[in-house]
């Protein structure tokens, strides 16, 4: 039969064991719940929920602090009791429980105090868990006490627990009551709040407005920032407006893009998933040997983790063997220690890992950079028009950010995490749970302090970066604009400006530097406190218990191993977000699809002569403003078509559509009866040769630049093309002949040389259709004649489209198309159009032509600007201004020009007479009124007669007509 006393004892023992487990389980559960739910909240972007402005936030915070203090009081009461009773066999599980609860709820309190945006469910869930665990623990502790001896200290303990329970319960009630009231108020006040702002925004909205103001002051997110400069004498202050630097703009845009996409995706998981497009460039999908290498690198990392555990352990064993605590041979132990150190060194596993990794790393660089480069080259004009080349280049280089991110996560974060967990377990097993607690508490407090300090320094760092750019901008502007600075005698002013910017930057840098120093000092202090606590405990265990001096050495070594991972994890968030911004730039490009692509199975263009037909073509760059409206014409094979019209009329756009830089929005373009959208892009572009107005050459030799049109062309073919372009002799006269480098964008060549090299290139290509944006650049008459000869060679027998700027080109064209406001208003040969007495004839009669050499207009000096502005022709007079300016160059010989003008005049006169006769016939009763009733064109022609008595000719002389 069971003895009732024994049964009582067993019950007590059982409840004691359960109690001990609960003492550990309670804080672990609460901490795990808090960490996991907070992480999920961050990943699913719950931080921006409207819950953040809870009306009872403050009271809940103080109740939480009260609970933390209650744990502390409980702990102190236990210590006081132990000291007064002189019984130092404190229950370990109770002490750990109290310490852990102080840590966990203290952390939650700090989060609630610090963070402007609060997600409540991790906190309320933790309180809920406390409400479940606390009564169970208290009941079990009552059960495990000997029933006859309830001490006053136990009454105090029960009292503290009860008050704490009440505080937890009150916090829960306040949370739900506050939420319910807020909802109710929101319902009733919704109309009033329309003017005040949405609910829950007040506090944070103010905060964000303050942030915005702050940002504006710092120049972030704005186009300008300012620096106040003060001179020593007279305290003169001036404000320097600085445009946002390209780097700042790129960073801002990428950050905005990242935030936008993050919001769209809804959470970090889906957001991170979009980066999976890069996986094939990082993971060698079709390369088994590289995959094996990656596997081996993984094994190396795990081995390294294992060795990291063994080294401190071995050091401990070595120390003990030296002290005679164990019977191991110190010589053998030191050899093992040396072997382990070798394995862990740069000459051991690390060497093997890096050797294995090098080909994988280069694979990734190769795959990523070639894919990004090829993708960018295959994107269409709309993309390239909208991005600057430096932006694109920066984005391509951002491929490195993705590798960095993976490197941080896979090869640093995961092994370090494993190291930390192993260290924690090993220390807990060797020195007991106190040591484990000290390790965890130190890590948690360290991480908290380090991350909040980094966040605090963010704003100061932004200010420093802005000041850096300010300094750079002023320096660069001063040096670049040295001539202006010197001409206006402003060297002193620039010196002061620069000195103020340097001082401003130094002040900000010092602030940031001090911040970092203080942050490191705090972090070091936390680690030192943890180390001291751990060391005291270990010394106690060495002197009183089972631990050995060797194990103490092991503890110190492990501790040193913890420091690096903690520092790394504290900065991980920041470095990942920086890498994400970089990756975002590349992702945006990789996700952009080319708008001009081949249709599936598109056949090559079948060229049968070169007939080009525009059929009711409409086009718009941005789907808003129509640039071309129902343009229709047909160019027969071999025909030369010249487009004439005001600047911005859409002439160059017609050429771009023909080369399929863009697709028409309506209508169709047909070459030899085939819609250019239905044939392959490559076959189309093979048939077309383009000579742009401002040709761009590569920074290479003349030979290579010309050969670019046909990479397998022989030297002879290149020479022939250059001869045809009338540039061969000139090239031979260069220092290194055809091997002369032309400089960036062909800077070392003159305008005329550059154009002829571009023409030679087009001649070498032997295109079937030629697109020519005729240059108006000022070259001497002889050079111009040579360019014309070269062009003649190029266009011979080919269907040619010219955006014409020279009267000679226009007159020689088979067909002239007059484009106005995106519409084809006139079409015909020179003679036909003169006879038609329309827009084209009007152009002639008004004589708004630019002189070939110095760019001045015959009718207005305003046209002088035309040439100075690098052929961006400005309107020459008011009439032309209305049309946007034509910039036509009168390059005709005097006699030809006179003859043509005479024709126009005669034609005009005839037309006037004819008109007059018609009017007289129809309005017989109103005879004699014809001369007074002259229409607009008559009067304008009259005006023009007055103004066109002089005509500018190539000799730069004004001649009487
Ligand atoms: N890439 C582009 N994106 C948006 N609009 C554009 C683009 N290129 C040209 N435009 C606009 O289209 C219109 C027609 O331009 P286009 O270059 O065809 O004129 P143009 O008649 O050739 O003028 P110019 O003789 O001065 O070269 C202009 O208003 C211009 O601003």
Summarize pLDDT for 11-51 with one digit per residue, the tens: 666 677 788 888 889 999 999 999 888 888 877 766 544 44
Helices (H), 197-287: 202-218, 246-265, 268-273, 279-282
Nearest ligand 1 atom, CA 622:
4
CA distance 549 to 901: 111
**How far apart are the CA of 692 and the centre of ligand 1, in A?**
14
pLDDT at 885: 54
* C-alpha 518 chain-centroid distance: 32
Beta strand 815-820 with 823-828 is antiparallel
| pLDDT at 433 > cutoff 70 | yes
For the chain, percent of residues with pLDDT exceeding 90: 16
CA distance 171 to 285: 54
Nearest ligand 1 atom, CA 645:
21
DSSP, collapsed to helix, strand or coil, labels residue 656 as helix
Q: Ligand 1: which residue has its CA nearest to atom 13?
A: 648
- Residue 739 corresponds to which tokens in the numbers above? 């091997």
The pLDDT-based confidence of 656 (bands split at 50, 70, 90) is: very high
| pLDDT at 526 > cutoff 50 | yes
**Whether 167 contacts 63, CB under 8 Å:** yes
Q: What is the DSSP string of 458-513?
A: HHHHHHHHHHHHHHHHHHHHHHHTHHHHHHTT-HHHHHHHHHHHHHHHHHHHHHHH
The pLDDT-based confidence of 848 (bands split at 50, 70, 90) is: low
653 lines ligand 1 (CB under 6 A): yes
Q: What is the DSSP string of 390-403?
A: HHHHHHHHTHHHHH
Measured CA distances, 786 to 8, 735, 886 (Å): 118, 22, 24
Better-scored residue on pLDDT, 425 or 617: 617
pLDDT at 191: 41
Mutate to test the pocket of ligand 1, among 643, 652, 806, 881 (most ligand atoms within 8 A of CB): 652
947 lines ligand 1 (CB under 6 A): no
CA distance 400 to 389: 18
Vertex 531: Cα angle to 528 and 532 (nearest 5): 85
802 lines ligand 1 (CB under 6 A): no
pLDDT at 12: 65
**Average of per-residue pLDDT across 66-90:** 83
Q: Quick one: angle between helices 4-43 and 92-114, nearest 10?
A: 20
Better-scored residue on pLDDT, 470 or 955: 470
Q: What's the N-to-C CA distance of the chain in angstroms?
A: 141
Q: Ligand 1: which residue has its CA nearest to atom 18?
A: 650
Mutate to test the pocket of ligand 1, among 384, 622, 653 (most ligand atoms within 8 A of CB): 653
**How far apart are the CA of 650 and the centre of ligand 1, in A?**
6
692 lines ligand 1 (CB under 6 A): no
| pLDDT at 3 > cutoff 50 | yes
Partners of 826 in beta bridges? 818
Counting every residue written for the chain, the total comes to: 961
Measured CA distances, 770 to 544, 759, 800 (Å): 97, 10, 5
Nearest ligand 1 atom, CA 649:
21
Locus of tokens 């302090």 = 449
**Whether 718 contacts 764, CB under 8 Å:** yes
* C-alpha 907 chain-centroid distance: 62
Q: Ligand 1: which residue has its CA nearest to atom 26?
A: 647
**Whether 696 contacts 731, CB under 8 Å:** no
Of 542, 476, 492, residue with least CA distance to 245: 476
650 lines ligand 1 (CB under 6 A): yes
CA distance 256 to 252: 6
Better-scored residue on pLDDT, 916 or 306: 306
The pLDDT-based confidence of 292 (bands split at 50, 70, 90) is: very high
For the chain, percent of residues with pLDDT exceeding 70: 77
Beta strand 674-675 with 666-671 is antiparallel
The one-character DSSP state at 408 is I
**How far apart are the CA of 824 and the centre of ligand 1, in A?**
15
Q: Ligand 1: which residue has its CA nearest to atom 7?
A: 621
731 lines ligand 1 (CB under 6 A): no
DSSP, collapsed to helix, strand or coil, labels residue 738 as helix
**Whether 231 contacts 240, CB under 8 Å:** no
Of 557, 303, 523, 532, residue with least CA distance to 427: 557
- Residue 106 corresponds to which tokens in the numbers above? 């203290």
Locus of tokens 């009168």 = 890
Measured CA distances, 711 to 69, 703, 714 (Å): 81, 11, 9
Nearest ligand 1 atom, CA 650:
18
Element (H or E) spanning 675, and its range? strand 674-675
383 lines ligand 1 (CB under 6 A): no
Sign of CA dihedral 371, 373, 378, 381: positive
Nearest ligand 1 atom, CA 382:
1
**How far apart are the CA of 645 and the centre of ligand 1, in A?**
12
- Residue 322 corresponds to which tokens in the numbers above? 């030296």
pLDDT at 68: 92
Measured CA distances, 357 to 352, 404, 416 (Å): 8, 14, 19
pLDDT at 413: 83
User: Across the chain, what does the average pLDDT equal?
Assistant: 77
Interface predicted TM-score (ipTM) over 0.85: yes
Sign of CA dihedral 681, 684, 689, 694: negative
647 lines ligand 1 (CB under 6 A): yes
**Whether 790 contacts 796, CB under 8 Å:** no
**How far apart are the CA of 368 and the centre of ligand 1, in A?**
35
pLDDT at 461: 80
**Average of per-residue pLDDT across 732-750:** 84
Beta strand 958-960 with 950-952 is antiparallel
Mutate to test the pocket of ligand 1, among 627, 642, 817 (most ligand atoms within 8 A of CB): 627
Locus of tokens 């469910």 = 121
**How far apart are the CA of 648 and the centre of ligand 1, in A?**
5
**How far apart are the CA of 879 and the centre of ligand 1, in A?**
20
* Sheet (strand 769-773) strand order: 688-691, 769-773, 799-803, 640-645, 815-820, 823-828
Beta strand 612-620 with 888-889 is unpaired
**How far apart are the CA of 822 and the centre of ligand 1, in A?**
10
Nearest ligand 1 atom, CA 381:
1
Q: Ligand 1: which residue has its CA nearest to atom 1?
A: 385
Q: What is the pLDDT of residues 862-914, one digit of tens each?
A: 333 333 333 334 444 444 444 445 566 666 666 666 666 666 667 667 777 77
| pLDDT at 375 > cutoff 80 | yes
Nearest ligand 1 atom, CA 693:
27
Nearest ligand 1 atom, CA 652:
22
661 lines ligand 1 (CB under 6 A): no
**How far apart are the CA of 653 and the centre of ligand 1, in A?**
6
CA distance 856 to 863: 5
Better-scored residue on pLDDT, 780 or 792: 792
884 lines ligand 1 (CB under 6 A): no
| pLDDT at 531 > cutoff 70 | yes
CA distance 552 to 299: 30
Of 676, 653, 689, residue with least CA distance to 382: 653
């Amino acid at each position: 039969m069971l003895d009732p006393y024994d049964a009582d004892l067993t019950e007590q023992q059982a409840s004691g064991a359960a109690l001990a487990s609960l003492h550990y389980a309670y804080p672990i559960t609460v901490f795990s719940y808090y960490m996991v739910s907070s992480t999920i909240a961050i990943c699913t972007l719950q931080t921006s929920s409207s819950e953040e402005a809870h009306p009872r936030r403050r009271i809940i915070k103080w109740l939480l602090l009260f609970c933390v203090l209650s744990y502390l009081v409980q702990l102190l009461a236990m210590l006081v009791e132990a000291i007064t009773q002189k019984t130092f066999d404190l229950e370990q599980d109770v002490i750990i429980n109290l310490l852990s609860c102080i840590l966990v709820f203290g952390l939650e309190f700090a989060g609630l105090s610090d963070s402007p945006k609060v997600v409540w469910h991790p906190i309320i869930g933790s309180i809920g868990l406390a409400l479940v665990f606390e009564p169970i623990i208290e009941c079990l502790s009552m059960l495990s006490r000997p029933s006859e001896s309830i001490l006053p200290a136990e009454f105090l303990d029960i009292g503290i627990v009860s008050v704490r329970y009440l505080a937890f319960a009150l916090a829960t009630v306040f949370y739900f009551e506050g939420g319910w009231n807020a909802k109710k108020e929101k319902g009733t006040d919704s109309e009033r709040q329309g003017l005040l702002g949405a609910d829950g925004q007040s506090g944070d909205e103010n905060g964000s407005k303050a942030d915005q103001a702050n940002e504006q002051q710092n120049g972030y997110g704005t186009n300008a920032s300012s620096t106040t400069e003060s001179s020593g004498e007279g305290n003169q202050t001036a404000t320097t407006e600085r445009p946002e630097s390209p780097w700042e703009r790129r960073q801002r845009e990428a950050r905005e893009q990242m935030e936008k996409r993050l919001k769209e995706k809804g959470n970090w998981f889906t957001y991170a998933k979009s980066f999976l497009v890069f996986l094939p460039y990082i993971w060698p999908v079709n390369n088994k040997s590289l995959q094996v290498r990656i596997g081996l690198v993984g094994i190396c990392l795990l081995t390294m983790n294992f060795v990291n555990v063994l080294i401190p352990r071995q050091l401990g064993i070595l120390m003990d063997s030296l002290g005679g605590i164990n019977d191991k041979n110190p010589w053998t132990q030191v050899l093992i220690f040396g072997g382990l150190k070798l394995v862990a060194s740069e000459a051991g596993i690390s060497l093997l890992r890096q050797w294995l990794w090098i080909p994988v790393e280069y694979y990734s660089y190769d795959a990523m950079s070639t894919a990004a480069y090829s993708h960018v080259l295959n994107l269409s004009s709309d993309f390239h028009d909208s991005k600057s080349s430096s932006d694109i280049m920066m984005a391509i280089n951002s491929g490195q950010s993705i590798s960095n991110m993976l490197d941080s996560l896979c090869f640093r974060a995961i092994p370090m995490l494993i190291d930390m967990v192993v260290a924690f377990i090993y220390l807990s097993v060797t020195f007991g749970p106190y040591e484990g607690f000290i390790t965890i508490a130190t890590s948690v407090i360290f991480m908290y302090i380090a991350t909040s300090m980094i966040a605090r320094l963010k704003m100061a760092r932004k200010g420093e970066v802005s000041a850096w750019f300010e300094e750079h901008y002023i320096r660069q502007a001063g040096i670049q604009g040295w001539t202006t600075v010197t001409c206006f005698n402003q060297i002193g002013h620039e010196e002061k400006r620069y000195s103020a910017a340097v001082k401003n930057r130094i002040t900000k840098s010092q602030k940031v530097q001090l911040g970092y120093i203080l942050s490191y000092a705090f972090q070091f202090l936390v680690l030192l406190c943890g180390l001291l606590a751990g060391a005291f405990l270990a010394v106690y265990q060495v002197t009183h218990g089972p631990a050995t001096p060797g194990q103490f050495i092991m503890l110190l070594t492990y501790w040193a191993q913890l420091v690096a991972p903690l520092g790394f994890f504290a900065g991980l968030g920041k470095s990942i977000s920086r890498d994400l911004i970089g990756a975002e730039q590349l992702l945006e490009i990789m996700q952009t699809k080319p708008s001009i692509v081949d249709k599936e199975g598109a056949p090559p263009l079948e060229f049968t002569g070169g007939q080009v037909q525009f059929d009711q073509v409409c086009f718009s760059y941005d789907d808003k403003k129509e640039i071309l409206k129902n343009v229709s014409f047909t160019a027969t094979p071999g025909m030369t078509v010249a487009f004439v019209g005001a600047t911005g009329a859409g002439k160059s756009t017609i050429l771009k559509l023909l080369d399929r830089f863009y697709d028409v929005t309506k209508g169709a373009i047909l070459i030899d009866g085939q819609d250019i959208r239905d044939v392959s892009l490559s076959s189309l572009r093979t048939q077309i040769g383009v000579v742009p107005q401002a040709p761009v050459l590569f920074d290479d030799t003349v030979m290579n630049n010309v050969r670019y049109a046909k990479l397998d062309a022989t030297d002879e073919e290149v020479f022939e093309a250059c001869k045809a372009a009338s540039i061969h002799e000139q090239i031979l006269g260069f220092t290194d002949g055809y091997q002369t480098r032309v400089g960036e964008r062909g800077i070392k060549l003159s305008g005329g040389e550059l154009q002829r090299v571009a023409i030679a290139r087009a001649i070498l290509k032997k295109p079937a259709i030629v697109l020519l944006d005729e240059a108006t650049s000022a070259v001497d008459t002889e050079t111009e004649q040579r360019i014309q000869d070269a062009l003649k060679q190029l266009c011979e027998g080919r269907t040619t489209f010219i955006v014409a700027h020279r009267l000679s080109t226009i007159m020689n064209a088979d067909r002239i198309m007059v484009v106005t406001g995106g519409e084809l208003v006139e079409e015909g040969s020179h003679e036909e159009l003169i006879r038609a007495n329309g827009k084209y004839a009007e152009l002639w009669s008004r004589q708004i032509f630019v002189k070939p050499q110095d760019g001045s207009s015959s009718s207005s000096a305003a046209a002088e600007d035309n040439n100075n502005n690098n052929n961006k022709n400005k309107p020459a007079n008011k009439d032309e201004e209305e049309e946007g300016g034509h910039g036509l160059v009168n390059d005709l010989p005097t006699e030809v020009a006179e003859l043509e003008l005479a024709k126009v005049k005669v034609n005009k006169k005839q037309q006037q007479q004819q008109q007059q006769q018609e009017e007289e016939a129809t309005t017989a009763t109103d005879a004699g009124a014809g001369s007074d009733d002259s229409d607009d064109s008559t009067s304008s022609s009259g005006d023009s007669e007055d103004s066109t008595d002089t005509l500018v000719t190539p000799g730069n002389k004004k001649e009487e007509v």
